[in-house]
Amino acid sequence: PQARAIRELGWREARELAGLAGGPFDPRAFRPLVEAGVPLVLRGVRQPWIEGTRIAADDGEAPVVAALAARRGATLVTVRSWAMWESAGYLARLFAAFADAGLSVDLVATSAAAVSVTLDRVPGGTGGAAFAGLLDRLRELGRVEIVDPCAVVAVVGRRIRSVLHEVGPALAAFREHPVHLVSDSSEDLDLSFVVDEEDAPKLVARLHDDLFAVRGGDRRFGPTWEALAAGPAAARAAIPSEEDLWWRRHREELLALAADGRARYAYHPATTRERARRLVRELPSIGRLYYSLKANPHPALVAAAAGEGLGLECVSAAEVRRAREVAGAEAPVLFTPNFCPVAEYAEALAAGAEVVLDGPDLFARAPDAFRGTGVGLRVDPGRGLGHHEKVRTAGAQAKFGTPVEEIDGAAEAAGAAGARIVGLHAHVGSGILDPIAWRRTGEVLAALVPRFPDLAWIDLGGGLGVPQRPGDAPLDLAALEAALVPLAAALPGIELRLEPGRYLVSEAGVLLAPVTQVRRRAGLVFVGLATGMNSLLRPALYGAWHPIHNLTRLDEPSAGSVHVVGPLCESSDVLGRDRLLPPTEPGDVLLIDNAGAYGAVMASRYNLREPAEEVVVGEGG
């Protein structure tokens, strides 16, 4: 929804973009216009109010990232042979095979002993006679490998090599996705990546967020897709109208809470209770669910989760104390800290909590603390997942858990300290929407079961994601349960556990922020709020996207896109860029949705500004 229209494009960029992404014309159609010096303006007859894109001579040689392109349905062919090393004519013979088959090669990459190429169109498909004949020819030249189907994702612009420092951080998007080939345009117009076909949409979205999120003021870019799709009379704000949105039902109460000009978090415990019931109902393979207090330890939300029978997962002694204060002495509590003082383990054990050790060194450092006890051991499955690199908690660079290859040493250390390993725990990241992810983690832990004769449970961690942007699909709980069924069946007598945090409370909280100023600057509109990253750090820390609504003018049409910012002296104090809002004035109250998790709990008094206080609303529903 935040993709931007391109107002201006140079001929070379447009030709490259058309070749990569297709569209309304063939790249060769540009030639007579370029030779005659005639600009081209693209417009849509079905949307005449949209200004369109003007394509003309390049306006200078300044480096620029202009667009992203994705082309699906490609085929990657790799030929490997040491015979190509210093062999005159080898490539000529190889490419002759493609020419004779009538196949046009797109991207090319070579090494000392291999050549990889992509094909856009294969007559008859990869199962046809033409492709079979090509493979026969290629096998005469070396070992042939095929990836089909695949996709090409490209960063398009001008002098891309000169802005690699800008592009570099965005390439973290590829961390979770295999890249089969990287190609740099010979004209320095694009950087292309060949990936699995199903990964292309996710990668384009991630790259767009990283490369274009802060470029709203660039004259080359026009309105967002969200704004354009709404029509010529000005796009309506993207405000859900479903009656099950609790904050719509409590609108008047929320407006009254912010009437004094102060920001507040408002929590709706009934939503947390409903989410907990849903998990219990739809995940019968899970023997016990634990609410992760670090998401939000507010007593009303902790009580809501515990009241539905969930245990409480804590990462500090203070959280253990909160769990006992709210849920009582009998509530199941799991203590899973990381690099905490050893004394906190003793306090957690004294409070009746089960404990999970992050690594075996604790057995040697404090053997008496765990002698005669059954403890859990956190395992690093080797690969992190999540919506941002800073929420991925597994892998070689992560500080969490014991690597699988060091498990035998951990078992020996536990035995030497007189402790029993009764559980294995893993958590790979947060904001995960792939329902298969937890089964993969479970399979890693299940392979370790024979090494621990006292094992009673396996904890698959948390990280159950919630939708962020309009159109995002929610986590498919039915698919998650289907993935867990064979895992549970393969582990008779061992309880499966799960630790949802954000899933239970994110949608149960909103941040109410009165507008202090509205300022127009360099063609942009900035809406300033009474609070910022001192109350909600996630956008600055993770690049997180939260829906933002003008609660005062909830059902009024949008006047265009604005940047929503806070009052702190930091460039990163931005809560939302390019958001569609109705005409907004000082005194209006903005509502930032999906703010019940990792909001107030991560707040600070930076600039000596007090963060938003917390209140509970709608106890009756």
Task: Judge if the upstream peptide bond of residue 149 is cis by omega within 30 degrees of 0.
Answer: yes
User: Using an 8 Å Cβ cutoff, are 155 and 171 in contact?
Assistant: no
237 exposed, middle or buried (CB, 10 Å; 0-12, 13-18, 19+)? buried
Q: Where are the alpha helices (DSSP H) in 171-199?
A: none
Which of 150, 314, 340, 569 is catalytic? The answer is 569
Determine the Cα–Cα distance for residues 292 and 393; give it in Å rounded to an integer: 15
Nearest Cα to Cα of residue 119 among 153, 90, 150: 150
User: Using an 8 Å Cβ cutoff, are 480 and 474 in contact?
Assistant: no
Nearest Cα to Cα of residue 483 among 212, 199, 343, 285: 285
- Looking at residue 404, its amino acid is V
Determine the Cα–Cα distance for residues 307 and 313; give it in Å rounded to an integer: 15
| E strand residue ranges, 431-560 | 457-459, 495-498, 509-521, 524-529, 548-550
Buried b (16+ CB within 10 A) or exposed e, 66-82: bbbbbbeebbbbbbbbe
Beta bridge partners of residue 392, listed in sequence order: 429
Beta bridge partners of residue 153, listed in sequence order: 70, 193
Strands 53-56 and 8-10: parallel
Which tokens sit at 513? 């922020």
Q: Give, in order, the Cα–Cα distances in Å from 141 to each of 85, 91, 136, 137, 520.
A: 12, 10, 9, 7, 64
Determine the Cα–Cα distance for residues 25 and 399; give it in Å rounded to an integer: 51
Q: In the Cβ-directed half-sphere of 316, how many Cα atoms lie within 13 Å?
A: 7
Look up 569 and say whether it is catalytic: yes
Beta bridge partners of residue 549, listed in sequence order: 591
User: Using an 8 Å Cβ cutoff, are 596 and 267 in contact?
Assistant: yes
Return the number of other C-beta atoms located less than 10 Å from residue 55's C-beta: 22
Determine the Cα–Cα distance for residues 143 and 19; give it in Å rounded to an integer: 30
DSSP 601: G
133 — alpha (psi -120 to 50), left (phi > 0) or beta? alpha
Q: Sign of the C-alpha dihedral, residues 390, 391, 392, 396?
A: positive
- Looking at residue 367, its amino acid is P
62 exposed, middle or buried (CB, 10 Å; 0-12, 13-18, 19+)? exposed
DSSP 123: T
> Which DSSP string do the residues of 201-242 spell out, in sequence order?
HHHHHHHHHHHHTT-TT-TTEEEEHHHHTT-TT-PBP-----
523 — alpha (psi -120 to 50), left (phi > 0) or beta? left
Which tokens sit at 444? 């890693």
Q: Is 20 helix (H, G, I), strand (E, B) or coil?
A: helix
Residue 254 dihedral angles phi and psi, to the nearest 5°: -70, -40
Q: Any idea of the CA torsion for 63, 64, 70, 76, to the nearest 10 degrees?
A: 10
Tokens 């939000």 belong to which residue? Answer: 296
Q: Annotated catalytic sites, by residue? A: 569
